[in-house]
Amino acid sequence: MRSFATDQGIAVQQLSRRMVLGLGSVVLSSAMLTACGGESPPAMPAVEATVLPADASAEEILRYASERLAATTSVSFALAVDGDTFIDTMGTIRLVSAEGQLLRPDRVATTFKVEILGRTVSLDLITIGEQTWMTDIVKGEWGPAPFEFSYRPDVLFDTQSGLGPVMGRVSGAMREADETIDGQAVFHVTADVAGDVVGPMTYYTLHGDPVRADIWVSTATGDLVRARLTEPPGADRPNPATWTLDITDHGEPVVIEAPVTDAVASPSP
């Protein structure tokens, strides 16, 4: 009789390329943290006492936040997932949350939680360039990530289809009442995002059209503080998913090193 740990291990080995971030945050970009071709990141624009006027339009807020994110060299992120986001084709592995750090151009360290066979388990993942390591689900030891494991939380910060570019591809952007998140004043913008725009950013795990986007941007710096994506109800979505991605520590020093292991890391997908 197979043990639960064995079944979990088999499930993880079968993770498909639909694995998102997922983070993993959610995840949840604007140009981000994975630069193409390893180019040096541009300097972040200077932050003035007031980066945006109090009466800035929704479009102005989104544009400035996108530019700031595009120039950011590192962030910490935390993704919480409510509802059902399945990251395997059989619909048995549900993404719960992800948190970690990204360092441009090609480093990411993530701890994420997934629900497998009714149990929630945690896994750690480190990607550096073309190599990816993951902790073993049974013993927690580092080793090469399974070949079919393609979880890439940095998808949320992709230069072409991440949060940053998406902020420029919304429709019906509107300013809501300003709010406060963790003690900092933020602009709140809502908008609709077409399904074919959201798809690449979430490895096609969010569905429906349009997806509602809520964006919160610091009034002091113009940095993206929180992004929320909400699936619309649908007959094929009895429990629509909502991803809430919190982003902190913009541009702060980050160190991401390869884990200590005798095994050779698997190449990134």
Determine contact, residues 59/132, Cβ cutoff 8 Å: no
Average pLDDT over residues 197-216: 82
In a domain? residue 134: yes
Q: How many folded domains does the chain comprise? A: 1
Is residue 147 in a domain?
A: yes
- Asked whether residue 106 is assigned to any structural domain, the reply reads yes
CATH number of domain containing 58: 2.50.20.20
Task: Give domain status of residue 259, yes or no.
Answer: no
In the block, residue with structure tokens 């970690």 = 100
> Is the bond leading into 42 cis (omega within 30 degrees of zero)?
no
What percent of the chain shows pLDDT beyond 70?
Answer: 68
More confident site: 201 or 233: 233
pTM for the whole thing? 0.76
Q: Give the structural domain span for 85.
A: 18-38+48-252
Range with the poorest average pLDDT among 111-125, 150-164, 171-185, 225-239: 150-164
User: What is the pLDDT averaged over residues 120-137?
Assistant: 86
At residue 59, the pLDDT reads 92
Q: Is residue 229 part of a domain?
A: yes
Mean pLDDT of 60-66: 91
Which range among 26-35, 143-152, 172-181 has the greatest average pLDDT?
172-181
Residue 188 pairs in a beta bridge with 216
Decide which of 215 and 4 is more confident.
Answer: 215
Is 6 contained in some domain? no
Instruction: Please check whether residue 13 lies inside any domain of the structure.
Output: no
The number of beta carbons lying within 10 Å of the beta carbon of residue 166 is: 27
Q: What is the pLDDT of residues 223-252, one digit of tens each?
A: 999 999 999 988 877 888 899 999 999 999
Strand, coil or helix: what is 194?
coil
The percent of residues in the chain predicted with pLDDT above 90, rounded, is 31
Residue with tokens 């991401």: 256
Q: In which residue are the tokens 């009034």 written?
A: 219
- Mean pLDDT in residue range 132-161: 69
Task: Give the per-residue pLDDT at 60.
Answer: 93
User: Of residues 89 and 135, which shows the higher confidence score?
Assistant: 135
> What is the pLDDT confidence band of residue 161, given thresholds at 50, 70 and 90?
low
Is 7 contained in some domain? no
- Which is more confident, 42 or 103? 103
The tokens for 56 are 């800035």
